[in-house]
Amino acid sequence: MVYNILNGDSLAYSFPDAKIEGNSIVVREGLIDGDLSGDNLHDFWQSRAKYLGITETEYNKSVVNEFEKIINAPDNSEFNLWFEYDLFCQANMWFVVSIINSLPIKKNVFAVYTSYLGKASKEFWNGFGPANSDELKVCYAGRIPFSEADINFGHELWKAYKNGKLEELTNLSTHQSLAFPYLQEVVKAHVDRFPEDGTKGRPELVIEDITKNISTDFHKVFNEFWNRESIYGFGDTQLKSLYDKVIHFR
């Protein structure tokens, strides 16, 4: 069985037009933010539903049911992970890889990145959105195979991230793997959110600068933040929370 694991409904909407082999699984989570506690998946799902302010039934229907397609995959399955380079997507991908790592089956895993974009592109850190069918096919053709070591490494990244072990995550980020490009940059962006001295994190400082020198209008702040810090991959929800905090303490 072939599975294309897509990060979000936006890609899921345009993906069928590319006519790429396999069944689609949609990741509807944003693990860059919120409660990640839980020693097992059941407890983890409960923590996420509570954090998101929805019932477990709603969360299971929208989110868990998709992840269970991975958990229930048959032997000799192939997983194509369609995730972008930014922190939002990478945190989600580390979680997906940790699930795949736990499966007692033979499997082949590939990372499908936005290889049709150059590093200088404005959309580099958030690249699948504007991709057309032909560009998605280019991305698929350039997919990167995971070795067994890569799968184990993704699991280790998730454990360190989930448990807030920033030093361990930083040490892991020095490991070189084609399956995890730009890892040091992404991990540094994450670690910069939580300065050891308790001062404001990098995103808050950037928002503070924007509101002081450009505009306090949220939409303008959002656009400017993306111009400066698209490596985070923040959506409206994540940025609005930080924006509200900055505005409150102005």
Same domain, 173 and 211: no
Tell me whether residue 194 is in a domain: no
Q: Quick one: which of 84, 81, 192, 195 has its CA closest to 145?
A: 81
Same domain, 58 and 119: yes
DSSP 129-159: TT--HHHHHHHHHT-EEPPHHHHHHHHHHHH
Using pLDDT thresholds of 50, 70 and 90, give the confidence band for residue 123. Answer: low
Number of helices (H) and strands (E) in the chain: give both, helices first.
Answer: 12, 5
Structural element, H or E, at residue 100: helix 87-102
Alpha carbons 29 and 52: distance in angstroms, whole number: 10
Q: pLDDT confidence of 118, banded at 50, 70, 90?
A: low
Q: Tell me if 154 sits within 8 A of 101, measured CB to CB.
A: yes
208 in a structural domain? yes
Same domain, 128 and 238: no
Say yes or no to pLDDT of 146 above 70: yes
Q: How far is CA 28 from CA 14, 65, 191, in A?
A: 16, 10, 24
Identify any residues that bridge with 142 across adjacent strands, giving them in sequence order: none
* pTM > 0.85: yes or no: yes
**Position 197 in a domain:** no
Give 40-73 pLDDT, tens digit per residue: 999 999 999 999 999 999 999 999 999 999 999 9
Domain containing residue 226 = 202-248
Q: Could you tell me the two tokens for 175? A: 């490991």
pLDDT in tens, 79-102: 999 999 999 999 999 999 999 999
CATH of the domain at 175: 3.40.1360.10
